[in-house]
Amino acid sequence: MNILVTGSKGMVGTALVNNLKNIRDGKNKTRSKIKIEEIYEYDINSTAEELVTYCQKADFIFNLAGVNRPENPDEFMKGNFGFASDLLNKLKKYKNKAMIMLSSSIQATCIGRYDNEYGRSKKAGEKLFFDYAKETGAKLAVYRFPNLMGHSKPRYNSAVSTFCWAVANDEEFTVNDRNTELELLYIDDLVEGMFDLLEGKEVHCEFEGVEIVFQESGRYCCVPVTHKVALGEIVDLLQQFKEQPTTLMMPKMPEGSFAKKLYTLYLTYLPTDKFKYVLKMNVDDRGSFTELVHTEDCGQVSINISRPGITKGQHWHNSKWELFIVVAGHGVIQERNINTGETVEFEVSGDKIEAVHMIPGWTHNIINLSETENLVTVMTCNEVFNPSKPDTFFEVV
């Protein structure tokens, strides 16, 4: 299959083309049903001759090209309607009935604040494509996207991108109303929706006003995974992300959550000098102990370095539990039940990485058996250390 992507240098086009290439090159094994031979990238700098060639050879077309921030509002119709007419006329000229995906907007409903030149140009574009499909018999998938959330130029047409950029780069920004709610479609979810379309698994819908109504026979298609989020929640999360290198606290980010997607997007706006940050190492003559990350519900992760011959630990906990994972060096972990006196001992090595539970009610230690090498241990704990309630009691194993 040969695929044409118009608007290939935009936010959606860039992400889609990158991931189509992964499929074409066999790097994405989860979408092996999609067979791609060529990907034609058309954008504002492409030539008319290239478009002619692409319109002759394409088997599937993602029409993402459009204008959203012209200097003159009249350019909406020229950019969003004019190019579409040119594309469809060329397809008709070469009798190419390739399936077309049209990127439209919820603003095409022209309801309320969407009753503007941009919305009207999008609605006119939809009609043009529906008429074309009816006339030629070509298959058509029209998507009315809500606000999109992906890496794009800040201070342009995405408030989320602007907030991410501003927070990451210590720039000022303004939130006029924290309660304003946005419906957001994350770029990776959009791309997966396009892959579903290529596999014939697209979701159909209709619209009641601006609300999606899922309907198998619907004229429109949609990506069903969106997030309705208030501006206040977005900027609060971004501030937590910004403070994370200092607090070490990572907010809850369950699979598929808005927070997880926002954090990914935020990272793409970090200046290169913030790609790394210093961690506080607690160093003494025994070695060092460094906390790596804290979480709101799963405790913390730390790294412990023990110098040759050193014993660390020698304490027990009531409710706190830990996992010790030696990743370099050679040592032994000892544990003793403080009530029964039962003991266990585990020889550990970075050559055979294993996880060892530190059981509540068992005093424990870790001993570096090497005379020359450090013992490096990753330690996870079910709670962030609280100096006012340490739940840690000295007792030699």
Strands 99-105 and 60-63: parallel
As annotated, the active-site residues are: 118
Written out in words, the top-level CATH class of the domain with range 2-145 is alpha beta
pLDDT at 71 over 60: no
- Residue in 346, 320, 312 with CA at minimum distance from that of residue 332: 346
Give the list of residues 6+ apart from residue 285 with CB closer than 8 angstroms, or none.
307
Residue with tokens 């906390």: 291
Mean predicted lDDT score pLDDT of the chain: 94
Q: pLDDT tens for residues 177-225?
A: 999 999 999 999 999 999 999 999 999 999 998 999 999 999 999 999 9
- Beta-strand runs (E) in 237-329: 249-250, 281-284, 287-295, 300-306, 311-316, 322-328
Residue with tokens 């070490």: 248
- Secondary structure (3-state) at 131: helix
- Residue in 167, 345, 184, 193 with CA at minimum distance from that of residue 269: 167
* CATH topology (fold) of 281-394: Jelly Rolls (2.60.120)
pLDDT at 72 over 60: no
pLDDT at 74 over 60: no
pLDDT band at 68 (very low <50, low <70, confident <90, very high): low
Q: pLDDT tens for residues 118-141?
A: 888 889 889 999 999 999 999 999
pLDDT at 67 over 70: no
Where along the chain do the CATH 2.60.120.10 domains lie?
281-394
pLDDT at 79 over 60: no
> What pLDDT shows up at residue 94?
96
**Which spans in 344-397 are helix H?**
none
pLDDT at 77 over 60: no
Where along the chain do the CATH 3.40.50.720 domains lie?
2-145
- Secondary structure (3-state) at 335: strand
With pLDDT > 70 as the criterion, what percentage of the chain qualifies? 96
Q: In terms of pTM, does the model score above 0.85?
A: yes
Mean pLDDT of all residues in 270-298: 97
Strands 211-214 and 375-381: unpaired
